[in-house]
Structure 1
Amino acid sequence: MENNFKPAEISENAKVVLEHRYLLKNDSGDVAEDPDGLFRRVASALAKPDKSYGASTEEIKETTEEFYQMLSSLEFLANSPTLMNAGTKAGTLSACFVLPLEDSMEGIMKTAHDAAMVQKYGGGTGFALSELRPKGSTIKTTHGKACGPIAALKLLSSVSTLVTQGGKRDGANMAVMNVHHPDIEEFIDCKTQEGEIHNFNISVGATDEFMKAVKEKKDFNLIDPKTKKVVAQKDAYKLFRKIVQGAWKNGEPGMIFLDEVNRKSPVNHLGEMTATNPCGEQPLLPNESCNLGSIDLAKFVNEDETDLDWNRLKKTTRTAVHFLDNTIDANKYAIPEIKKANKLSRKIGLGVMGFADMLIRMNMSYDSEEAVDMGRKVMKFIQTEADIKSEELADKRGPFEGWEGSRPQINGDKPIRNACRLTVAPTGTISMIAGCSSGIEPVFSLAYRKHNILEGKTLYYVDKNLEKAAKEKGFYSEDLLEHLSNGGSLQDREDVPTEVKKVFRTAPDINPEYHVRMQAAFQESVDAGISKTINFPNEASEDDVTTTYMLAWELKCKGITVYRSGSREKEVLTSGTSENETEASVDSKIGFVSATERPSELFGVTRRVYTGRGNLYVTVNMSEDGKPFEIFAALGKAGGNDSAMAEAVSRMVSLTLRSGIDPKASIEQLKGITDVPAWNEGELIRSVPDAIANVLEKIYEPKKESAPLSINELNDETLISENKNTDIANVLQGETCPECPSTLAFEEGCQKCYSCGYSKC
């Protein structure tokens, strides 16, 4: 502990994220603590378990201060559920879970129940579909036919959606199927049908046998999980290309290399790992959970920026292991089976963030051998120190309950407190709080625009390291910021020195091979897995993805996730087409549609909304079946351009409604358009089109009055209130953020908004 300690300064962006997502609220929904209060609350709650191991009141007080300084310095932050829920009466401290899925009606329904309870607590869930019998298999007890794994997946998806209807978005889930399952092709295609499975990531569990068959272009066996008999053979390379094609189109399915996962498992005597958490970095046994935290490496660069402060990093690593081990004892568990599984292995996941910022400060290019070696070195160091601390804890507290028969016990290793110590997990919003780059990802964007709604000015948010370098070297200019915020690359600028271009390389600038090689370098010392996105430019080919997937397997990564820039934006979804219909044949069926004739009489609702252009009166008339049929919008002041534009927008929306287009499509197009923002009854209305979308959404999807959400209903995947400083343009190509007009970044196997803090895995 430092006697003259001062907490780190919290950035304005971090304050916004903390206020909306992390700081405790009172019964009126107002913020009831500040960031310092959050860190003290969490530190105090996580130091208390020491009492169970004989610590005195004074020792617990010292540990509380040690935890507080580690958190408030922003050198280490725990995963979001811990920051949100520690020291409160509700909610879990774990981020995500893997649940068993047994091949029986009782087993499937038990899993659905447990998933609902876990997601009620705010956790994400992973499932292995591999043990479910194939579709069409005979059921002896009923003489019927099995519905198959995909039907079970649809059930779990609907349960997840049902749980989140109380004000939250859909939860995060992962479904994994072993590549040898007879229904593997149906699994690979399961998300191409729009809307049926929309809240699951999917990954194929690939074995060494399969990957070798791909490499040699041979057949491989499909095995019935119930009878364990070979039921068919398939062309491995052809199936692999099908996986690659899906990943090229929209990033799914990912791949998990199951043999590598289980080859390194320290507790293979407790079972086989067949699934991961929603982001893929944490392979887990059934009912285990993730207890995660990350160290900001950039904060350990020494003053002359030539190396790291290794002594300080050692101290933080050891303190973080103590903190995370206590998380297991302080946790609240949704079901008893999860508590039992966590005590049995006591797995924790200490990871890193700010790696790209660290490299930049040390003048290293991300895609260089020097940087790969540095990544390998720093993770090896953290592994060594984490192991030492876990061994010390085992000395005082005893090893994990499943120690006898574990791989380290059989090998004659020292008893250790935690079966696994390291994971590189998504850092989403906690990296925004820390003010650093995400995980081990390269910097995603060097600049973007943000609109100040109070003064109508455009502000540029610039990477702090680039801003410093640009001002020191004299190439800082508005033209440069405009170029970068419009999607331009620093590599294209003639006014930027070559040595600066070499260091400031963003994710799109980096060859996918170096993304994989960096992941593999960290994986050497990480006993769980790594959440990382391998970014491809939009023009990348399927062959490029094929090469990358093979490289990840050959370099002994445990899994891989790819994203081709803009691919989800251009994704073609089919609905109800037969297996033999091609994309072209579907397109040929698409013709013009005619709007439904207006009946002579309709009933509707009129609402007044205050906008920056004056009072707007919006009328939505409904059809006989209760659906929005047409919309009229008129400003209080008649005539003029503003009124004409309001009428034009309402006419076009009416045309889409009468043509059978889902109102959600029009709402999504209009929502977030910004002109002259104004507040209407505590709600930000950005423009007349935004007001029309607001009214249509409320009428189309009426929301019941409910009590304010408690802190346990919040997690990384569920809620963020709207930011009063809203992005107008963010040039990162891809999907639009559902919470603001910015575009999402694809990092760490997740979607992340750098503007408002939205994060979904």
Structure 2
Amino acid sequence: MTETVSGSTGSHRKNASKAGAGLKIERVYTTEGVHPYDAVTWERRDVVQTNWKTGENVFEQRGVEFPDTWSVNASTIVTTKYFRGAVGSAEREQSLKQLLDRVVLTYVKAGKEHGYFASDADAEVFEHELTHMLLHQVFSFNSPVWFNVGTSSPQQVSACFILAVDDSMDSILNWYREEGLIFKGGSGAGLNLSRIRSSKELLRSSGGTASGPVSFMRGADASAGTIKSGGATRRAAKMVVLDVDHPDIVEFVETKEKEEEKIRVLRDAGFDMDLGGSDITSVQYQNANNSVRVNDEFMRAVEEKTAFGLRGRMTGEVIEEIDAVELWDKIAKAAWACADPGIQYDSTINDWHTTPEAGRITASNPCSEYMHLDNSSCNLASLNLMKFLNEDGSFGVEKFVKSVELIITAMDISICFADFPTDPIGETTRAYRQLGIGYANLGALLMASGLAYDSDGGRALAGSITSLMTGTSYRRSAELAGIVGAYDGYAQNAAPHTRVMRKHLAANDDIRTLHTMDIAVHREATKQWADNLKIGEKNGWRNAQASVLAPTGTIGFMMDCDTTGIEPDFSLVKFKKLVGGGSMQVVNQTVPAALTKLGYTNETIEAIVEFIGEHGHVIDAPGLKTEHYEVFDCAVGERAIKPMGHVRMMAAAQPFLSGAISKTVNMPETSSVEEIADVYYQGWKLGLKALAVYRDNCKVGQPLSSQKSQDDKTSASAEAATEVKTVVVEKPIRRRLPKSRASITTSFSVGGAEGYMTSGAHESGELGEVFLKLGKQGSTLAGVMDAFSIATSIGLQYGVPLETFVSKFTNLKFEPAGLTDDSDVRMAQSIMDYVFRRLALDYLDFDTRSALGIFSADERQRHLDTGSYQPINDGSTAAELVETPVETLPKAEAAPAAEVVVEDAAKAAPSQAHTSAELLEVITGSAVDSPLCMTCGTKMRPAGSCHVCEGCGSTSGCS
């Protein structure tokens, strides 16, 4: 970023000098006289990444150094994402040691300068403990720390930003500018537009009608899209919030729903409307998550089915009344149609606000976990919960407490030297020192402990751990206040801050523990909250907020976590990246741990794991008791967790967080508008601060019908019946193929399902027959394919144009679907979708294909490079291609049809290097709406309200 505000201020140095004694740091993980680096085995690895379209190397760094305990995936992501310096230069980092030293030593230096440590010896212990925890993947800072700290770049440490905009053109234009600076730096921002007067109010200067916030959203969206395409490979991450009492609320709610309808129309007309597609920029409002701020007054009006007043921004007076239920239904309908808007519960958020004297909380970051003052930021760090699961099945309470103490200390130190994108953000963050400690791997911890995610026991443990984490964080914050001073805004907010601490303590007392593990955690949490209040009432607190639950996308892979944030296990099968490239399918290691915890023998465990590896689920697994099925329920698959299971887990953790939770509640495609409305309603009743839903396939609508209504048809038939016409029936003539004809045999794989297609042509080059081989001979699938092939071939020979088949069968959606092994058709929604796209590329000329929106990889690349599609072979048809040497034909071989021998597809050699996404699609049949990674082409998977790539670690939002 080009504009920054440098770190320390005189007030903080003065605070530091008043204490007289710094922190005494205890050794927990390390041994005096032994550096953490000397206690692990290091090895050299080669990190090579290839372009998913061309197969060319896009990244290569050989001989990088990592501990032998780190997975290939983790070392690849850290090397490509976080190592600084030009690749190949002497300045390029080549060891994890260099990365950790760059960050840790910067923190230690700042801690010394600002009076955090009692002595140099304590600073050394802090250095060793922090290094050990990062080295052994106990926790991780958020990505900006790894990008920026210790480099010549601005020392930005925050991933989350909240901006502010007022009702003036200067403020609105400044909003565009500030958002652009944050996007340019790779971070995301959110803001509330409710101060901008509505389109139903007058301008003071001219007396004309105001534009309204939605119109200004259009400009901001275009700006975000431009900056994304100009400087980043992922979409800009932004959140736009509007209060429910704003007069333009209906327009705001319906904005993205209408745009999604436009996307479907354009897609069906042949335009490239995929994420990152060449034509998607013609659609508006696609770079932001939208959320409606509802308050208790509105929610009670929904309950009571009464009218609700929309208030003018200038006077605060009601200028229009609307039926509350009608507006609530519109919100649910829009979320059903396109996943936007989400909900933020304003009254709940501000009831837990520690600094209300400094202003209300009006907005959040793009993923909805950070909620605090306007023009502020938050740096994040997340603990790997599986690192605290002891071999005896207990939770390492003492180590967890000590780890949280150290992490909170480090996070607070970072604000002393951090740079910020704007002056107001820097001033607010240094004055209130917002932190966001959180965790990852909760889903794995619960499963390994034999607890179902959607169970009272699972929720009790999650709530207790969250309570312990935040209670300890605030207790350490109070201790820091006694050493380096309370946050600048504490004096005027002492009473409300203390009130919120007591609310957390009261919520902790309401936890109903069930098992030995959560009883032990809860007991310590109760002690931490009591100590926190005692110390805080004396010293105040160093930080206005302490904890959030972020999506932990990229850093989750850095820590080799099985699950991200508060999420359950995604599926029972994971994918292990191999040193030589590709990946292999393995059953999650949490599965055998859970089975051991549940008391199964080694022999039974082996049988169950083998069954899961083959089927991807536990239903009918040999020897597994049905009452234990729920322990292995996941986000997707045969036993997917119900939507309210996700909501109840969020409700278990929310009372113990300063901020909120980044999580999207996935709902099945069959969910109704009423079910979505109920999920949003239950979120309010259960005390959540924010909630978003995603209904499967909601962004992939059915093609719009151009047919007349039934009444119109009936009327037209009646009119036609009054006329008598002579009709000449012309019988079609079948044009048979010659005995010997040119043909192309293509092997293909769609979503892991392999098959063969043989297409034969007339002498003119026109397609005349198609034969598909999929499945074993004699199987139902093989029979259906044979029948379909015959029907298609006869249709072609009777004169049905190939383009008619292509237009009817492309975009047809059913399983198997997903990634293919064809560089020209990387994704297919079904076997039929792939087959007819391939036939179009092989037999239709460029002009015909372009009208259908079908282009080869070279044509799409040329369009990206030059803005113009160019035919690869100047319109050559298959007949001309037959004259081309066989070795030049991609993924095909020319041979007479009579000589084509198609072997059993089940015996065909499998691909040597499936990507994670390809395997995942076969096993789960899910996540079909997740975008492809724009860096490496792998199918991404949900992580909170964002998506994350398992191949390279890229995210679509916060990291």
TM-score (norm 2): 0.63
Alignment of 1:210-225 (within 5 A): 210-225=298-313
Q: How does 1:21-40 map to 2 (within 5 A)?
A: 21-26=81-86, 28=88, 32-40=93-101
Q: Which amino acid aligns with 2:547?
A: L
Return the letter of the residue paired with 2:443: A
Q: Distance in 2 between matches of 1:45 and 1:137?
A: 52
Q: Which residue does the alignment assign to 1:435?
A: 560
AA partner of residue 238 (structure 2): N
Please list the CA deviations of residues 359-415 of structure 1 after superposition, one character each: whole Å capped at 9, or x if unmatched: 112111111111111111111111221111101110110000001111447758340
1:545 CA drift (Å):
1.6
Check the 8 A contact 1:726/1:756 in 2, yes or no.
no
- What displacement does 1:693 show? 4.2
Q: Contact 1:85/1:93 (CA < 8 Å) preserved in 2? A: yes
- Judging changes above 3 Å, is the alpha-carbon distance between structure 1 residues 263 and 409 closer, same or farther for their aligned structure 2 residues? closer
Give the C-alpha shift of residue 534 in structure 1.
Answer: 1.6
* Alignment match of 2:430 (pick from 336, 343, 358): 343
Q: Distance in 2 between matches of 1:356 and 1:521?
A: 14
CA contact (8 A) 1:268 1:406 kept: yes
Q: Deviations over 1:73-112 (max 9, x none)?
A: 2111111111221111214211021111111101101111
Cα distance change on mapping 1:28 and 1:137 into 2, 3 Å = farther
* Selected match of 2:217 from 153, 168, 171: 153
Q: Which amino acid in the other structure matches residue 505 of structure 1? A: D
Q: In the alignment, what sits opposite 1:74?
A: 137
Kindly indicate whether residue 247 of structure 2 is the aligned counterpart of residue 182 of structure 1.
yes
1:514 aligns to what SS in structure 2? helix
**TM-aligned CA distance change 1:563 to 1:658, over 3 Å:** closer
Q: Choose the corresponding residue for 1:475, options 593, 598, 607.
A: 607
Q: 8 Å contact 1:536–1:564 — kept in the other structure?
A: yes
* 1:25–1:33 CA contact under 8 A, matched in 2: no
- 1:617-651, Cα deviation, whole Å (9 max, x unpaired): xxxxxxxxxxxxxxxx99xxxxxxxxx99895265
Is the contact between residue 353 and residue 496 of structure 2 (CA under 8 Å) also seen in structure 1?
A: no
| Partner residue, 2:105 | 44
Q: Following the alignment from structure 2 to structure 1, what is the Cα–Cα distance between the partners of residues 938 and 87? A: 31
In the TM superposition, what whole-angstrom CA distance separates every residue of 1:482-515 from its partner, at most 9, and x where no partner exists? 432xxxx434656654365232110242122221
User: Which residue number corresponds to residue 585 of structure 2?
Assistant: 460
Counterpart in the other structure of 2:572: 446
Q: Any conservation in 2 of the 1:39–1:68 contact (CA below 8 Å)? A: yes
- Superposition deviation, residue 266 in structure 1: 0.5
Partner of 2:928: 734
Separation (CA, whole Å) in 2 of partners of 1:114 and 1:755: 32
Alpha-carbon distance change, 389 to 453 in structure 1, aligned in 2, over 3 angstroms: closer
In structure 1, C-alpha distance between the alignment counterparts of 2:460 and 2:837, rounded to whole Å? 58
Quote the Cα distance in structure 2 between the aligned partners of 1:254 and 1:25. Answer: 40
Q: Structure 1: which 5+ residue stretches go unaligned?
A: 574-582, 589-632, 635-643, 668-688, 703-722
Distance 1:123 1:407 in 2: 32
Instruction: Report the equivalent of 1:53.
Output: 114
Corresponding residue to 1:659 among 837, 845, 851: 851
2:209 counterpart of 1:209: no
State the Cα distance separating 1:585 from its structure 2 match: 7.2
Corresponding residue number in structure 1 for 2:683: 552
Within the alignment, does 1:139 sit opposite 2:270 as a pair? no
Question: Do 1:730 and 1:743's aligned partners in 2 also have CA atoms closer than 8 Å?
Answer: no
Q: Report Cα offsets for 1:428-459 as digits up to 9, x if no partner.
A: 1111111221111111122256897978x872
Please list the CA deviations of residues 660-718 of structure 1 after superposition, one character each: whole Å capped at 9, or x if unmatched: 74xxxx56xxxxxxxxxxxxxxxxxxxxx65554445434389xxxxxxxxxxxxxxxx
Which residue in 1 is equivalent to 2:754?
Answer: none
CA, structure 1 residues 552+149, in 2 after alignment: closer, same or farther (shift >3 Å)? same
1:713 aligned partner = none
Q: Distance in 1 between matches of 2:686 and 2:838?
A: 58
Cα deviation, 1:22-71, whole Å, max 9, x if unaligned, reads 22232658962323322222111222221232345554333222221121
Question: Taking every aligned residue pair, what percent have the same amino acid on both sides?
Answer: 28
**Higher mean Cα deviation, 159-168 or 12-21?**
159-168
Correspondence 1:520 to 2:651: yes
Cα distance change on mapping 1:701 and 1:260 into 2, 3 Å:
farther
Residue 874 of structure 2: aligned partner:
none
**Relative to 1, partners in 2 of residues 1:537 and 1:724: Cα closer, same or farther, differing over 3 Å?**
closer
- Superposed counterparts of 1:122-133, under 5 Å: 122-133=186-197
| Aligned partner of residue 460 in structure 1, secondary structure | strand
Q: How far off its partner does 1:208 sit?
A: 0.4
Give me the whole-angstrom Cα distance separating, in 1, the residues matched to 2:669 and 2:955.
Answer: 23
Does the 8 A contact of 1:267 with 1:419 survive in 2?
Answer: yes
Q: Matches of 1:754 and 1:390 in 2, distance apart?
A: 35
Cα deviation for residue 752 of structure 1 reads 2.3
| 1:548-594 superposed Cα distances (whole Å, 9 cap, x missing partner) | 111110111101111223333x2469xxxxxxxxx667998xxxxxx
CA contact (8 A) 1:450 1:728 kept: no
Bigger Cα displacement from structure 2, 102-111 vs 24-33: 24-33
**Distance across 1 between alignment mates of 2:844 and 2:483:** 70
> Residues 611 and 618 of structure 2 are in contact (CA less than 8 Å); yes or no, is this contact kept in structure 1?
no
- Within the candidate set 623, 630, 649, 1:502 is matched to 630
Q: State the match for 1:700 in structure 2.
A: 867
- Counterpart CA distance in 2 for 1:129 and 1:182 is 12
Three-state SS of the structure 1 residue aligned to 2:231 is: coil
1:62 alignment counterpart: 125
Which stretch has the larger CA shift, 444-453 or 520-529?
444-453
Secondary structure of residue in 2 paired with 1:252: coil
Residue 244 of structure 1, aligned match among 332, 357, 376: 332
Whole-angstrom distance in 1 between the partners of 2:837 and 2:365: 48
Contact 1:277–1:284 (8 Å) recurs in 2: no
Amino acid at match of 1:24: R
Q: Structure 2: where are the runs of 5+ without partners?
A: 1-26, 41-66, 264-282, 499-535, 596-601, 710-822, 825-835, 870-912
Find out whether 1:165 has 2:332 as its counterpart. no
The equivalent position to 2:478 in structure 1, one of 391, 394, 402, is 391
CA distance in 1, matches of 2:149, 2:347: 36
Q: For residues 115 and 652 of structure 1, do their structure 2 counterparts lie closer, same or farther at Cα, with a shift above 3 Å needed?
A: farther
Distance in 2 separating the partners of 1:381 and 1:265: 20
| 1:369 lines up with 2:456 in the alignment | yes
Cα distance change of structure 1 residues 647 and 693 upon mapping to structure 2, 3 Å threshold? farther
- What SS does structure 2 have at the residue aligned with 1:165? helix
Distance in 2 between residues matched to 1:646 and 1:214, nearest whole Å = 52
Distance 1:28 1:134, change over 3 A: farther
Count of residues in correspondence between the two structures? 648
CA gap of 1:729–1:226, structure 2 versus 1, over 3 A, is farther
C-alpha separation between the residues in 1 aligned to 2:914 and 2:382? 29
Q: Distance in 2 between matches of 1:650 and 1:530?
A: 49
Deviates more, 1:145-154 or 1:394-403: 145-154
What's the CA shift for 1:12? 1.2
8 Å CA contact 1:728, 1:741 repeated in 2: no
Specify whether residues 555 and 433 from structure 1 end up closer, same or farther in structure 2 by C-alpha distance, changes over 3 A only. Answer: same
- In 2: Cα distance, 1:315 partner to 1:274 partner: 34
State the distance in 1 between where 2:553 and 2:927 align: 18
Measured in 2, the distance between the counterparts of 1:693 and 1:495 equals 52
Equivalent residue letter for 2:85: K
Return the offset for 1:142: 3.6
Q: CA deviation at 1:480?
A: 3.8
2: CA distance, partners of 1:491 / 1:140: 67
Q: 1:274-293 residue pairs with structure 2 within 5 A? A: 274-293=362-381
Q: Please, which of 413, 416, 423 is the counterpart of residue 537 of structure 2?
A: 413
State the alpha-carbon separation in 2 of the partners of residues 482 and 742 from structure 1: 23
User: What amino acid sits opposite 2:131 in the alignment?
Assistant: Y
Residues 252-285 of structure 1: CA deviation (Å, up to 9, x unaligned): 1110001111111010000011110000111121
| Mapped partners of 1:513, 1:339: distance in 2 | 39
Rate the CA distance shift 1:87–1:200 in 2: closer, same or farther, 3 A: same
Match of 2:345 among 252, 257, 262: 257
Partners of 2:707 and 2:345 lie apart in 1 by 35
